[in-house]
Amino acid sequence: RERLMGRIREQLRAQDAVLVAHYYTAPDLQILADETGGIVSDSLEMARFGYEHPGRTVVVAGVRFMGETAKILSPEKRVLMPDLEATCSLDLGCPPDEFAAFCDQHPDRTVVVYANTSAAVKARADWVVTSSIAVDVIRHLHERGEKILWAPDKHLGGYVQQQTGADMVFWDGACIVHEEFKAIELDKVRAEHPDARILVHPESPAGVVAQADVVGSTSQLLKAVQTMDAQTFVVATDAGIFHKMREAAPDKTLLEAPTAGRSATCSSCAHCPWMAMNGLRSLAGTLETGANEIHVDPGVAEQALVSLGRMLEFGR
Ligand code: 13P
Ligand code: SF4
């Protein structure tokens, strides 16, 4: 482990490269990103940091849409990822052709897509949002009298509609990780820990979101652990977040929200299989060989930059 980490530090320095990691990646990658002047964050801040950083190479430890976003925002930079096969069920469940046909059926609606989509889907959209600003963007559009076509996460979309009262039609997509959180079991955990605060990522089903004290992006949930006056938290998001939560609040008790898959052999089932494809070995290999570079068709990138640019501007 130490040798691999040393090789990665050395390569990052030699190549004027910065490591941008998501909270769901392995703790070692998060440690390296912090140590070397990179960032560990949610998907909005990852995009912003990669864009604003002066380094010539951005290495994205996360899933493919995050690498594509970095490339679209900074076409002049080299964007590498430890594994190009690291995708996302929301992205996989929203093929660009079918999505374009869905949009064509609703020409009167403003098209808003979640960041967890391909570059081609973003290119067809008017707006891109992440979970940290989805409610604010839709409220803004609703107040302007716009009707919304939302894709692809139906749970996040339903939560946003409930918060804003906007007129929305939905694509039928879900995150395979967050969809596993179970409302009935969470209710039992709340009964066992009546003083605990419940923190939920909005990709979770409505029955889980309804029990939350805080609903938010990964960064917003982390902030809640740091700032809320409570000793115990039950957390409904990918278990990767516990690395930063423990670091930020070492004296607090952090419990994983129950999932359907929990069993004697799987104590932490809420872990994205695609985020898990990022490892020290693949990261070192990518940096040493230059493999796994992200390329986005320039025409698609130019289109997608419009909707992504609105996201970055709005989030300021
Ligand atoms: P965040 O923007 O909250 O980091 O979410 C990204 C993601 O993929 C959650 O599953
Ligand atoms: Fe996609 Fe869910 Fe994995 Fe996030 S946790 S990258 S939404 S599959």
Q: In angstroms, rounded to a whole number, what is the distance separating the alpha carbons of residues 109 and 128? A: 14
Distance 40 CA to ligand 1 centre (A): 12
pLDDT of residue 261: 64
- The pLDDT mean for the chain works out to 94
Residue 268 corresponds to which amino acid?
S
- pLDDT grade for 269, boundaries at 50, 70 and 90: confident
Place of tokens 């889980």: 208
**Mind listing the domains of the chain with CATH numbers?**
2-86+276-296 (3.40.50.10800), 90-170 (3.40.50.10800), 178-271 (3.40.50.10800)
pLDDT at residue 44, rounded to an integer: 87
- Tell the residue nearest (CA) to atom 4 of ligand 1: 42
pLDDT digits (tens, 9 = 90+) for 207-261: 999 999 999 999 999 999 999 999 999 999 999 999 999 999 999 999 999 997 6
- Rounded mean pLDDT of 54-72? 96
Q: Compute the CA torsion angle 124, 130, 133, 138 (nearest 10 deg).
A: 30
Atom of ligand 1 nearest to the CA of 42: 4
The reported pLDDT for the residue numbered 164 is 98
| pLDDT for res 72 | 96
Sign of torsion over alpha carbons 64, 2, 4, 281:
negative
Whether 182 and 200 have beta carbons less than 8 Å apart is answered as: no
How high is the ipTM of this complex? 0.97
Name which residue sits closest to atom 7 of ligand 2, judged by CA.
175
The residue whose CA is least distant from atom 3 of ligand 1 is: 217
Query: Residue 263 pLDDT more than 90?
Result: no
Taking the centre of ligand 2 as the mean of its atom positions, its distance from the CA of residue 272, in whole angstroms, is 6
Burial grade of 263 (CB within 10 A; 0-12, 13-18, 19 or more): exposed
pLDDT reported for residue 2:
86
* pLDDT over 70 percentage in the chain: 97
Q: 160 phi and psi, to 5 degrees?
A: -65, -40
> What is the CA(3)–ligand 1 centre distance, in A?
30
Provide the strand spans (E) within the chain: 17-22, 39-41, 57-61, 78-80, 110-114, 127-129, 148-151, 168-170, 197-200, 214-215, 232-236, 253-256
Using one digit for the tens of pLDDT, what is the confidence trace for 5-37? 999 999 999 999 999 999 999 999 999 999 999
| CB-based contact 62:46 (threshold 8 Å) | yes
**Would you say residue 264 has pLDDT above 50?**
no
For the chain, the C-alpha Rg in angstroms (whole number) is 19
Binding site membership of 25 for ligand 2 (Cβ less than 6 Å): no
Confidence bin at 262 (pLDDT 50/70/90): low
Helix (H) / strand (E) element for 120: namely helix 119-124
